[in-house]
Amino acid sequence: MAHAATRKKDMPKVTIDGRTIEVPEGTTILQAARMIGPEVAPPAMCYYTKLKTSGGYCRTCLVEVTKGSEKDPRPMPKLVASCRTNVMDGMVVTNELSEKVQDARAGVVEFLLLNHPLDCPICDQAGECHLQDLSYEHGHYNTRTDFERRTFEKIDIGETIQLHMTRCILCYRCVKVAEQITDGRVHGVINRGDASEISTYIKEAIENDFSGNMIDVCPVGALTDKTFRFKSRVWFTKPVDAHRDCDKCSGKVVLWYKGDDVLRVTGRKDQWGEVEEFICNTCRFDKKKTSDWTIEGVREISRHSVISANKYKKLVKPKRLTINDIKALPE
C-alpha cells in the first residue's frame, strides 16, 4: 500500500485546455500535451524527442500557465516554453484557448518569416514544411517591415546535402543530430545575432554514415537532399513503407515513388513529424531500386496533409440519379 501511495504521489496532474492527465514526474508541458493529443499540443519547431537538450530556441511552443500548482496556485507572470517547463501537480495550462498565446505565436511566426525568402513554389520542402503550416495558421497576409533581407549563398556540405541558409530558422536540430548520432560534429552555428549561420567553418564536407538524418530533422527547407532536388512535388509522389537487412541501421524507411521510380528514401516519421528510427546514408542515397527492398505497403498519411491529395483508398462513386430520383427531389 505504501508503495502504491508513493507511486501515486509521483504522478502529478496537469490540466491543459480543460483536459486533465496524470504524468510521470519530470514530464514537460509539451510532452503532457502530446499524451493528451494533437488537439491541445503546441507546435514545436526546435524540440525533438530523440535529441537530448533540444528545444527552447524557437518559442513557438509558448503556453500560458494560469495556475502554477496546488501548493502555489499563482499564475506564471509570463508565457513559458512548454518544451522546457516541467509539469507541477495541479498546474493549469491554456494553449489553443488562450488569446495571449495565439497573439504571441503569431508574433513568433512573424519573426521567423522576417528574413525568410518565401520561396515555397520552388522549395523541395513544400508540403512537408512545419513553418509553412505555422504561417498558414498564424501568419499575416502582409509584411509590416521593409528592409533588405538577410541572405546567404547556397552551400554544398557534401555530395548529397545542400544548405540553403536563407531558409534556416536556427532550430539547432541538425547540430544535435551531428553531436549525438554521428561519429563527430564538423558543423555548428557561427557568428552571433542576425549574422548567425549554420556552417562547417571551412566548408568542410560532412561525411559520415548518418549525416543524411539532418535532412529529415530540419523543419524547413534549409537542408535538402541533392539527389531529390526539383525532381517532383511531394504530393505527386506515393509514399510506401519498406525495409531491408542493413548492418548499419534498422533498414525501416519510406520509399517515395513517382510511377515505378524511387525518387527519394526517408526515415519513417510519427504524427509529430519526428523520425521514428534514424537511417544510414546507404539506405537513404544508395538503395533506390525496388529490388533493394521488401515492400510492406502504402504508408498511412493524414487525410489533412497535402501529401494525401488525390490518393483516396476507397473512392465511393456517387449514385447515378434516375428520372424518378430527380422528380422526388424537393423544389
- What is the distance, to the nearest Å, from the Cα of residue 142 to the centroid of all Cα atoms in its chain? 25
- Which one, of 55, 33, 30, lies nearest residue 45 by Cα? 55
Domain parsing of the chain, residue ranges? 2-108, 115-141+151-230, 232-331
Residues 41 and 19: their CA atoms lie apart, in Å, by 11
Percent of the chain with pLDDT over 70: 83
**Tell me: the pLDDT tens digits for 225-280?**
999 999 999 999 999 999 999 999 999 999 999 989 999 999 999 999 999 999 99
Q: Which of 105, 80, 109 is nearest to 93 (CA)?
A: 80
Inter-residue contact 27 to 87 (CB < 8 Å): yes
| CATH 3.30.70.20 for the 115-141+151-230 domain, yes or no | yes
**φ, ψ at 136 (rounded to 5°):** -65, -40
* Residue % of the chain over a pLDDT of 90: 60
DSSP code for 28:
B
Architecture of domain 2-108: Roll (3.10)
Pairing state between β 223-225 and 261-267: unpaired
**DSSP labels, 29-42:** HHHHHHHH-TTTPP
On whether the pTM is more than 0.95, the answer is no
**Where is pLDDT greater, at 208 or 261?**
261
> Are both 2-108 and 115-141+151-230 of the same fold?
no
- Give the model's pLDDT for residue 291: 94
pLDDT in tens, 87-132: 999 999 999 999 999 999 999 999 999 889 989 989 999 999 999 9
Cα 317 to Cα 168: distance, rounded to the nearest angstrom = 45
pLDDT digits (tens, 9 = 90+) for 40-72: 999 999 999 999 999 999 999 999 999 999 999
Cβ–Cβ < 8 Å for 91, 67: yes
pLDDT for 207 equals 72
Residue 186: how many other CB atoms lie within 10 Å: 17
